[in-house]
Structure 1
């Protein structure tokens, strides 16, 4: 079968590899159908290895080359001994986090995503979504309803990131929210905030094309170019009492954007950091203290969120497919996918790979 394999920075190859064998106890084999290209995948391609282990992973033992892709779904083709949660023929969305399930501090408390031995399909597991098939643990696959498409199944993973960021911020009915960064996670966070009941939503990004796209997705969205106007002033002018937003979510991993969040959030508001910063960043802790605000990290998502996010998408409450701007085949993934997304002048947001063609 064909698979897109990471070898080193700027070295991705579509190669012919052996199909996965029979799944072991507690495992399933799926025919992958759709997979999204994530910002993490782009960072591996541009600068890696970052999350791809250089030494054997402490839980999975994986290192070196890697089939990429952790935003994916497919159809179950075989199940291993003891698997009862899915059956052959089920269409599934993949929850890619792999970790100890017991006898570990976080696992014993149901906080699997916080495990220090965390691995991910597509980054530190023998299989990933950018291949025709994969082997996964039974806890990694969730059946999807008939109302959900294969593309939507692959969008559950990034949407779960966005939903959890809103959860961490306490977004609720009537909230006002600022999101910095109009990438896929930023726009999915806008949609997640709306689904949670936010009534005033602001989006900041210096890319005019992405802001234009954002307004087609949410016509009531207030968009801000931080290179042309003050984010904090624009936000305060658009909130009750001119105090700022209830929640500010930094979704790009940028020091200036994080500073804008601190400035734009109201006193006793919440700043959520979901974008991954490439290194240490400064923060105005004087403002954090004097404004009495909370600053919270948002890492991945609880694995238990999958049924909830599936329901949000399948019912149309969170129309995740709106962030997809291009659909390609696996053979074109490097040039038409990765290179297109890394082009500073590019117009693409989320590119989906169709593995059925």
Structure 2
């Protein structure tokens, strides 16, 4: 079968690989329909291997070369003998996190913090940019007719964005500042709007991404290269500042703008991944009684809630999609394009079949 396979930095190949072996009692075979390229995938391509193991992973025993793809929808081809709740032919989204189930964190429902966590498409025997993949049954979330395959492939990044907003303590009626308008920032803005934000403010230096966010019609979109973001946010909020902020750029400038744009006793979440240390002013946290909270992935049980919200039409995740590309073009029209700082793409999905 065809798959996009990570071998090393700047070495992703579309090649034939063996189909996965038979399913275990609690496993499900899926034919991926569409799969997103994630920021984590981009980090691996540009500077990896980082997350992808080069020796057998302690939980999954997988190692590079790695079939990529952890944001995908698909159709169930086969189920194991003990699988319930899903049938052959069901359309599904796949929650890609794989956990041990018995450590301190797993026993407390914090499975996304499992020290041995693996991930389909990064540290598992298969991924979503392929023609077939076998996954544990607890990863499967059935899609209703009201949710398309495109939307299903965006459930995973939507869950990341939603968790980033939820961890701020966001409440309906709040003003939220989002720094960074990549796919996670765009989804965070859409989620906050769906959840009842009084005002959504987005900061993004890339003019093409600003235009995409502005076209959503749900946010005030700022250019941090031309405007003092904290000052504009205060002006838009009667001199007070945003109630909460979601930092989705993974940049020091974005973090500074998020903290600077908060009102006193506000909360910012760090959603975007930093590839190098960033400097903050701890005195500002103290003097203004601010909270800075990290986020990692999402609760593993959150996919059904996200899917239900998408199904209502109030969370139109498909609006972040730039294009669906063929797997043959995954490097030049996918990875290389998304890594271009002046590029025109916000979110790309890959079609294999």
Match of 1:287 among 274, 284, 288: 284
What is the SS of the residue equivalent to 1:33?
strand
Aligned: 1:299 with 2:296: yes
Deviation (angstroms), 1:128 = 0.4
Instruction: Give the equivalent residue in structure 2 for 1:339.
Output: 336
Q: Distance in 2 between matches of 1:111 and 1:274?
A: 17
Q: Distance in 2 between matches of 1:71 and 1:8?
A: 21
Provide, for residues 74-119 of structure 1, a one-character-per-residue CA deviation record: whole Å limited to 9, x for no partner: 1111111211121111111000000112x21111111110111111
Q: Distance in 1 between matches of 2:207 and 2:341?
A: 12
Deviation (angstroms), 1:63 = 1.5
Aligned: 1:264 with 2:261: yes
Contact in 2 for aligned 1:176/1:247 (Cα 8 Å): yes
Where does the alignment leave 5 or more consecutive residues of structure 1 unmatched?
none
Deviation (angstroms), 1:312 = 1.0
Contact in 2 for aligned 1:2/1:131 (Cα 8 Å): yes
Deviation (angstroms), 1:20 = 1.4
Aligned alpha-carbon RMSD (Å): 0.9
Q: Distance in 2 between matches of 1:64 and 1:123?
A: 9
Where does the alignment leave 5 or more consecutive residues of structure 2 unmatched?
none
Aligned: 1:309 with 2:312: no
Q: Distance in 1 between matches of 2:180 and 2:314?
A: 22
Instruction: Give the equivalent residue in structure 1 for 2:225.
Output: 227
Deviates more, 1:165-174 or 1:151-160: 165-174
Match of 1:321 among 295, 318, 324: 318
TM-score (norm 2): 0.98
Q: Distance in 1 between matches of 2:65 and 2:21?
A: 19
Match of 2:241 among 244, 247, 251: 244
What is the SS of the residue equivalent to 2:211?
helix
Q: Distance in 1 between matches of 2:24 and 2:301?
A: 23
What is the SS of the residue equivalent to 2:315?
coil
The size of the alignment, in residue pairs, is 353
Matches within 5 A, 1:136-155: 136-155=135-154
Matches within 5 A, 1:81-92: 81-92=81-92
Q: Distance in 2 between matches of 1:128 and 1:251?
A: 25
Provide, for residues 31-59 of structure 1, a one-character-per-residue CA deviation record: whole Å limited to 9, x for no partner: 11110111111111111101101222111
Deviation (angstroms), 1:61 = 1.2
Aligned: 1:64 with 2:64: yes
Q: Distance in 2 between matches of 1:107 and 1:129?
A: 25
Deviation (angstroms), 1:279 = 2.1
Matches within 5 A, 1:1-357: 1-101=1-101, 103-217=102-216, 219-239=217-237, 241-356=238-353
Contact in 2 for aligned 1:178/1:203 (Cα 8 Å): yes
Provide, for residues 236-284 of structure 1, a one-character-per-residue CA deviation record: whole Å limited to 9, x for no partner: 0001x31100001100111111111111100000011111111221111
Q: Distance in 2 between matches of 1:227 and 1:211?
A: 12
What is the SS of the residue equivalent to 1:74?
strand
Deviation (angstroms), 1:342 = 1.4
Contact in 2 for aligned 1:171/1:197 (Cα 8 Å): no
Provide, for residues 182-202 of structure 1, a one-character-per-residue CA deviation record: whole Å limited to 9, x for no partner: 100000000011111111111
Structure 1 runs (4+) deviating above 3 angstroms are none
Provide, for residues 102-147 of structure 1, a one-character-per-residue CA deviation record: whole Å limited to 9, x for no partner: x211111111101111110000001100101100000011111011
